[in-house]
A and B are shown apart, each in its own frame.
Chain A
Amino acid sequence: MPIINIDNIPYEVKEGKNLLEACLSLGLNLPYFCWHPALGSVGACRQCAVKIFKDEQDTRGKLMMACMEPVKDGMRLSVNDSDAVAFRGHVIGWLMTNHPHDCAVCDEGGSCHLQDMTVMTGHAYRDYHFSKRTYRNQHLGPFINHEMNRCIQCYRCVRFYKDFAGGKDLDVFAAHNHVYFGRQQDGTLENEFSGNLVEVCPTGVFTDKTLKQHYTRKWDLTTAPSICQGCGLGCNIIAGERYGSLRQITNRYNGAVNGYFLCDRGRYGYEFVNSKDRIREPLVVHAPDDKANGLPVLQHVRNRMKPGKVIGIGSPRASVESNYVLKELVGENNFYLGIGEIEHELIRLMLKLLKEGPVRAASMQEAAAADAVVILGEDLTNTAPMLALSVRQAVRRMPVDHAISSIHMPAWQDAAVREAVQENKGPLFILHVVETKLDEVATGAYHTAPDNIARIAFAVSHLLDGTLPEVTGMSDEGKQAAATIAAALRGAKRPLVIAGYGGGSEQVIRAAANLAWALKQQGADAMLSFTVPECNSMGLEMLGGLRLESAVDAVLNGSAETVLILENDLYRRLDLHTANQFFGHCKEVIVLDHLHNATTERANIVLPVGTFAEADGTLVNNEGRAQRFLQVFNPQGAIQESWRWLLQLGDICGHTHLRSLLHYDDLLKAIAAKYPVFIGIDTLTPPADFRIAGQKIPREPHRYSGRTAMQANVNVSEPKPAEDGDTALSFTMEGYRGEPPSSVIPFFWAPGWNSVQSVNKYQVETGGPLHGGNPGKRLLEPNPNGPTKFYTNIPDPFIPVGGHLLLVPLYHIFGSEELSIHTPGIAQRMPAPYIMLHSEDARRFQVAAGHLLYFMDNGHQYALPVVINDTLQKGAAGIPVGLPHMQVAEAPQLVKI
């Protein structure tokens, strides 16, 4: 490793880095703006100047931009040289000439990189006394606020939005000192990752509009490490509360999962926590002759639980802990997974393939490093958004590697590398039933029915490995596609195959596994990635349970009378008809949930439970990574975690095992002891009695304000602060001020670094893992030596049937997820229900765009307005999944029109 001398002190640094990265990784304070660990360097802001000396004799040296200079063994530089210090002070002085006097009314204030860097350079007073340039702002939609006066022209926003995330509607306009960062005209920023501008922009030009509705400074938030509930990828987030409501979600860096970014569903989908539909007190519906008035609610619950007649329905959006306790309470034979048949089969298959197969599930960072990607039957931008962002990085991998070796530039030389790469893309093939947003970066995109997708994938496997069965009766197009894909994959060292729930087809999942295994057998370091629909779909499946349909049967045939439903709206799982029938036959319905929904309306007893912000719990993401979310704040009312309600219920029912679980840590240990697959779940975060220097880890920063006034309107004597007996965190600002273990970092802050850029101080090296390793534990590892059982059952090709259409599910990042649509901004961007047809099919059924198309499914009539899309497979009809007011129809299935 090279040794460099900084201010005459030798340091060992990593090869291939630039000086700025090296200095920051060493913990030195060197100001910067345009460099970003994920975006690389462009040398635009001139803020990171250091002085570089030729040799020991050189006393004059020359000023250089640290972010543009590679590390060289034996080099000498100075960060504290007076010329360099003065230069940096001047640069920030110039950047500030037009900066408005806005800090007091700026949402960035208190977590502003520009403030931090200004203080760091010592530029305390402005020496520019002329007039300031101003701009008009734009309305950028429900998520982002625009205040262009504050711009310092670092170009990070467009580099992220256009170059990194593939956005098209944000750019830089005008010239010289009039450059303008915005849209061509007012309008919603369309990219699904627009929210990251808030963190990428080092100033207050782009700020979080949902935060503005209940604005709170970073130092006033009570925060906790949490996990996004938006989809199955499990991005790490920090959730912040003030005055009893959740205020903001920000990124929590995890080098193996989401890195520096989040999608807009994850960032903005939190407002359900503050919804007026929240259940805050237990509700008991009394039968007329019920004399049990006045009893504690759990007595009511117990009174309605007839032995032998109670079943429990779990949920993929509840934690492993809650599902476990419910399963223990009702018994293994009475615990049902609260997910639909198709979903259950798919996830079960994925789990099996990942556990028994030889190919490893890719983390999102590994996916971003893949050099060839095949996506089978998934519209990733809508089903697993952040994975789509990883794929956008993966397509650059081959051309970037090529450029690096041909122009001899390091990867962080962003502008030079992009110039060399141009529009070149590495291999990405997308097979889906309709066009997807990622098609624009794909080498090849084929739109065909799920069975045909599986067939093409089988054909590719055959081309890679002749011993695998051949697919007969392929169309010329299909043969052509298979040949192209196979040829591209042959050269790949780290190919990635992605499939998942979006296609709704087991055949596709099998074909994906086959393909990945075949690649592995060819010697490639192949990876597999399966998407799952909900934040704990994988965890629930690992816990295991019976299918939801058998719960319906059990109730209909009278073998079950009381149903305990855990955080699950069954009207989203079962079609209306079946759900009504099910509830009609239940004697007692006891629901634990946090929002009123169609299921709680059918309940006799509703217990108010905490959302992710009011509960501790563990989720397992699509990769099999168990991750812990910790409670942010103590909720009002009777709200408590589902698992706590159920433990208390177990206690009053005299359940010996549940009775013995007195603490959260006991519960975790019990899960790990009972299910070998969950081993390690009890050590994801430090135990409740963990202390550093005898202290807990505070959820509030040391500048937290208003402790003695915020509740003074209720009572001038402050109440005793809430205590957290479950975790190593405290609900107050008292506690250990240093760096906590990586799994329990409630907020990123370092002296002089108030903004999110302070994450540098928590990493082993910039962009690397957090100190002590990235949080979370992978529970699923491949079985490298196990025999690979290739699938040989190749599905028949899809042939459209007269008078019928194949319903296929289509997902929407804004709309398909149950909880995030409670955010008004997300609801605003949700599509209206529709049915998508190919124009030929529309002609066949004599409908045009906007007409209503009627069809029957399971005794229920559907009427949906038609949308025409000619990239859709003929004979298929796309219907959006999960939108409110959209009846559940099973998809994929063949329906008669």
Chain B
Amino acid sequence: MFSLLRSMWLVFLHMFHKRDTYQYPEQKAPLPARWRGRIALTRDPDGEERCVGCYLCAAACPVDCISLQATEDEHGRRYPEFFRINFSRCIFCGFCEEACPTYAIQLLPDFEMAEYNRQNLVYEKHDLLIPSQGKYPGYNYYKVAGLAIKNKDKGEAEQEEPPVDIKSLLP
């Protein structure tokens, strides 16, 4: 009996609290940086595409709504030839972001993606690629990977020794 009255009292008190309802769309809700919304492909500190086309996001996606094709430029740098997300299927679980070894794919605090035509929810690479590093500034996968690309030869990555001279007889 007492708890019943106490609950009613607490509910009554709420009438005098500050309102939690946002008058959307006039008023926007503040979203934390980790909020899982619109997916973007970010760029590395050099402004290059971060995605290396490893297919891990696609494999992690529980609804299989990511598809891409990896390719590489003449210097051996890998990137996606196409990259497609079908947002009409995406459940914004963030698994792709967790799987991504390069911080390329990121879920951003933005959910305003509604469309009248479902076909418009199919995003291609040019819709996804943003000129920003997103939530993880500073990381550059190719600086830690062993692959040689333009302007980064073998032995020039972080914590790498210069290439072995296999003709050397020194111990």
Contacts and interface: CB of A to CB of B under 8 A. Distances in A.
Contact of A706 (B54, B64, B154): B64
A660 interface: no
Most buried by B among A178, A220, A710: A710
A111 to B, nearest CB: 12
Contacts, number: 135
Contacts of B163: 134-136
Contacts of A215: 53, 69-71
Contact of B155 (A101, A134, A706): A134
A100 B154 CA distance: 11
A719 to B, nearest CB: 13
Nearest to A172: B166
B59 A712 contact: no
Given A104-B141, A716-B119, A703 B65 contact: no
B20 interface: no
Interface in B34-82: 52-56, 58-59, 61, 63-72, 78
A306 interface: no
Interface string B102-127: 10000000000000001101101000
Interface residues of B, number: 50
Contacts of A717: 118
B98 interface: no
Contacts of B119: 715-716
Contact of B64 (A180, A709, A716): A709
Interface stretch (B10-18, B83-91, B130-138): B83-91
Contacts of A710: 67, 84
Contacts of A713: 84, 122, 124
B69 A214 contact: yes
Contact of B59 (A180, A219, A243, A709): A219
B88 A716 contact: yes
Nearest to B77: A105
Nearest to B100: A104
Given A104-B145, A105-B78, A130 B159 contact: yes
A531 B62 CA distance: 50
A131 B122 contact: no
B146 A132 contact: yes
A118 to B, nearest CB: 15
Given A220-B55, A705-B55, A713-B122, A134 B162 contact: yes
Contacts of B124: 713
Interface string A781-812: 00000000000000000000000000000000
A134 B164 contact: yes
Contact of B54 (A109, A149, A214, A709): A109
Contacts of A109: 54
Most buried by B among A105, A173, A215: A105
Nearest to B71: A215
Contact of B61 (A103, A150, A220, A705): A705
B161 interface: yes
A709 B166 contact: no
Interface residues of A, number: 46
B31 interface: no
Contacts of A136: 154, 163
A640 B169 CA distance: 61
B166 A174 contact: yes
A513 to B, nearest CB: 52
B66 A709 contact: yes
A298 B124 CA distance: 41
Contacts of B56: 104
Most buried by A among B66, B70, B124, B169: B70
A710 B55 CA distance: 13
8 contacts: A101-B145, A105-B147, A132-B161, A136-B154, A173-B166, A212-B72, A709-B65, A709-B122
Interface of B: 52-56, 58-59, 61, 63-72, 78, 84-86, 88-89, 101-102, 118-119, 121-122, 124, 141, 144-148, 154-155, 159-164, 166-169, 171
Given A135-B166, A705-B59, A712-B122, 7 more contacts: A180-B164, A220-B59, A705-B55, A708-B64, A709-B89, A712-B67, A716-B88
Interface of A: 100-105, 109-110, 130-137, 147, 149-150, 173-176, 178, 180, 212, 214-217, 219-220, 243, 703-710, 712-713, 715-717
